[in-house]
Amino acid sequence: MKIAVLTSGILPVPAVLGGAVENLIDYVLEYNDTYHLHDITIYSIYHKKAMQQKALQSPVNHYVYVNKNRLISRVGAKIHSYIGKHYCYHYQLEYYFECVWHKMKEKQYDLIILENRPGFALQLSERCNIPIISHIHTNLLYEPSVKNQKIAKATTMFLAVSKYIKNEIQKVGIKKDIRIVYNGLDSSLFNKQQSGAINRSQLGFKDNDFIAVFWGRLVPKKGIKELLLAMQQLKQHQDIKLLVIGAINYEDTSGQTNPFIDELKSIAKEIKDKVSFTGFIPYDKIADYLSIANVAVIPSRINEAFGMTCIEACAMGLPVIATNDGGIPETLVGQKHILLNKDGDLPTLIADAVLDIKTNYPIYQGNYLNPQFTKETYVKSFFNSIAEIS
């Protein structure tokens, strides 16, 4: 098949700036490059680092870019905000779609795949008669509405990253074919044997410290504030430490701040001997840091669609403390973990869970990468699902 894949318009593909969705797209394209299953054109925002990637040399995967940072693009987006038709998203994303459509409208495709932008199906259904698969990575169809019914009518099939997301799609009254395609992890990047590149002393830790680790964006919904407050409650336990990996956004934002970051710094100042912040770390280096930790803490305040960090933690052999909502419980079946009620006193619940795991550490060891969540399983499930459209 000749397939067009439309990315979300936020991060580039190849995933030179990270991003869970973008990494998953890379896995699909890598597999397609190896086995030559389809002729795929990927539409993505431009980034100069992406242009340097070997993946662009593929004979079966074709990369087409929209440069949102050019002056003409910024002006065009602003004009579109006043005179363009608005369907579902911020005007910049709607303008991104228009730029993509301008590039793809003369091409002949057998299938269009939308990566986490189900609303784009509305524009496409008005302009072409091509089957559309919408790959849903977050809960974007969360309420019954006329608009969601129109999106469902314009969409041939939905791919959901978890049972939770499938159920949420069905809750709004969508009765289309919905396939579950669990996300996959590259085991070459995350494995228990990954060690040596980083040692504890480099980050100010001692050999006998019990280290909890958090990684992700430093934003309120990820629960990092509650985790720092939990560390305050544990300050009398001098050997319990916290490693925080991440920044405000998906790339190096050192020097940037906002009121929430200022609040985190204020909390951390009171327990500065217990907390180490790494700042932004490239995705392919995160496992080096996880390898020095004892327990992963994933205190999300929202219903995560899947819980990729849980998979990464298990692959590194770490027991997991996480909140009990969304798709997270699906990722921890058979693994050593503690699930917390995110609507409870989360700092206290986290502190108690860390102490429980520290006290009973041998019981909580033995986590592993579930074969259901490998990169190989993911890409095979993805291609098997889209084959139903051919």
Rounded CA-CA distance 16/23 in Å is 9
Would you list the DSSP string of 65-133? Answer: EE-TTSHHHHHHHHHHHHHS---SS-HHHHHHHHHHHHHHTTS--SEEEEES-TTHHHHHHHH----EE
User: Rounded mean pLDDT of 182-201?
Assistant: 87
Q: Is residue 19 over pLDDT 60?
A: yes
Cβ atoms of 101 and 127 within 8 Å: the answer is yes
User: Rounded mean pLDDT of 34-38?
Assistant: 97
Per residue in 60-93, pLDDT tens?
A: 999 999 999 899 999 999 998 988 888 889 999 9
Cβ atoms of 106 and 134 within 8 Å: the answer is no
Task: With CA atoms as reference, report the closest residue to 159 among 321, 356, 371, 383.
Answer: 383
Please tell me the pTM assigned to this model: 0.90
Per residue in 157-186, pLDDT tens?
A: 999 999 999 999 998 888 889 999 999 999
* Structural domains in the chain plus CATH codes: 2-184+374-389 (3.40.50.2000), 200-371 (3.40.50.2000)
